[in-house]
Amino acid sequence: MAKQEDIVMDGNVSEVLPNATFRVVLDNGHEVLATMAGKMRRFRIRVLAGDRVTMALSPYDLTRGRITYRFK
C-alpha cells in the first residue's frame, strides 16, 4: 500500500500554544492544531499569532498538521 500525499493548505495562526504548537484557522474556516516542521525549528523561524502560514495536513487526521512555511 502506497503512502498517501499530504494535503497542503494555507491559513492564519490564531493562537500560540506551548511546545511549538499553534492553533491555525484555515482559509476554508476549519480550525486545526499544528506543530512546526523540523527545518523551521532547526533554523529557529519564529511564528507568531497573526502570521500567514502554509500547512501540510495528513489525509488520515485532518485536525492536526505541520507548519511548513511562514509568509513574510
CATH code for position 11? 2.40.50.140
pLDDT digits (tens, 9 = 90+) for 9-24: 999 999 999 999 999 9
- pLDDT exceeding 70 applies to what percent of the chain? 97
Q: How far apart are CA 18 and CA 57, in angstroms?
A: 20
> Does some domain include residue 48?
yes
The structural domain count of the chain equals 1
- pLDDT exceeding 90 applies to what percent of the chain? 93
**Predicted model pTM:** 0.91
Q: Which amino acid is at 2?
A: A
Q: Cα–chain-centroid distance for residue 23? A: 8
Whole-number average pLDDT of the chain? 95
> Does some domain include residue 35?
yes
> Does some domain include residue 42?
yes
State the residue range of the domain holding 14.
7-70
Average pLDDT for residues 24-38, to the nearest whole number? 97
Q: What does the pLDDT read at residue 2?
A: 57
